[in-house]
Structure 1
Amino acid sequence: MYLEHVNLVVADMDAMLQFYRAAFPHWRIRDEGHGVWHGKPRQWLHFGDEHHYLALSNHGEGNNRKLAEHHVGLAHFAYVTNNLDAVIARLNNAGFVIAKPGSTEPYRKNVYFVDPAGFEVEFVEYLSDIPAERNLNREAQQCEVQ
């Protein structure tokens, strides 16, 4: 079993595509269309590769939850990369800045960005193939506030 896609409702599809195209230059729009969701028209698209994608719909209203508060909702989602520095450089060149640095660990590097819709996205590069090393102090990190 694996995660195929995440479905995000947003207000500005173009801004989201700018962010995710910088993060994933090999991804493309796989499919797109128009529809109605509970009486409201929307544009939707699937942006990804043959295995994983983001489903985006542009009928969002209001603001995403504030990440520093304690409201129920999505905290973040993460992507594994084999070159974190390249991801950071692409996002910085597209005008996006690191929202939160990751933890200092011997077997992984990570950073957090906030996309244009307010979703926090972690990018992580593992420096070991050994699960016990890759997940070192993982539980403790989840409890810390940066």
Structure 2
Amino acid sequence: MYLEHINLVVSDVPAMLNFYQAAFPHWSIRSEGDSDWNGKPRHWLHFGDDDYYIALSDNGVGENRDLSGHQTGLAHFAYVTNNLSATIERLQQAGYSIAKPGADNPFRCNVYFIDPAGFEVEFVEYLSDIPSERNNDL
């Protein structure tokens, strides 16, 4: 079993697509269309590769949760990269800044960005193949 996709309801799909295209230049729009969700029209798209994708829908209302607060909701999600420096460079060239650096850890390097919808996204490069080292809390 594995996680195939996440589905994010946002207010600005093109802005989100810009962010994720910078992070994943090898991904593409797999499909898109228009539909109705609980009585409200929406435009949606699936952005990814043959195995994984992000589903985006444009019928979001309001703001995302305050990431510095303690409200129930999504804290962040993370993507593993084999080249964190290249990922950071692509996102910064597209106009996005690192929101916070990751922990100083000998077994991983990571950073956090905030996407245009206000979701915190972690990008991590593991420097070990040993799960207990990858997930330690040094």
TM-score exceeds 0.5: yes
May I ask how many residue pairs the two structures share in their alignment? 138
| 1:124 corresponds to | 124
Shift of the alpha carbon at 1:132? 1.9
Quick one: which amino acid aligns to residue 9 of structure 2?
A: V
Amino acid at match of 2:35: G
Q: In 2, Cα distance between the equivalents of 1:2 and 1:37?
A: 26
- Residue number in structure 2 paired with 1:51: 51
State the SS of the aligned residue for 1:137: coil
Alignment match, 1:105 = 105
Whole-Å separation in 2 of the counterparts to 1:35 and 1:62: 20
Structure 1 distance, partners of 2:128, 2:73, is 31
SS state at 1:59 partner: coil
Please state whether the residue corresponding to 1:26 is helix, strand or coil: coil
Q: CA deviation at 1:124?
A: 0.2
- 1:82-117 deviation digits (Å, cap 9, x = unpaired): 000000000000000000110000010000000000
Q: List runs of 5+ in structure 1 lacking aligned partners.
A: 139-146
Deviation at 1:21, TM superposition (A): 0.1
Q: Secondary structure of the equivalent of 2:116?
A: coil
The residue number in structure 2 matching 1:26 is: 26
Cα distance between partner residues in 1 of 2:132 and 2:37: 44
Root-mean-square deviation (CA), in Å?
0.8
Counterpart for residue 82 of structure 1:
82
CA separation in 2, counterparts of 1:3 and 1:80? 13
- Is 1:93 the counterpart of 2:70? The answer is no
Deviation at 1:125? Answer: 0.2
What is the TM-score with the length of structure 1 in the denominator? 0.93
The answer on 1:133 being equivalent to 2:133 is yes
**Which residue does the alignment assign to 1:115?**
115
Counterpart secondary structure, 1:125: strand
Runs of 4+ in 1 over 3 A off after TM superposition: none
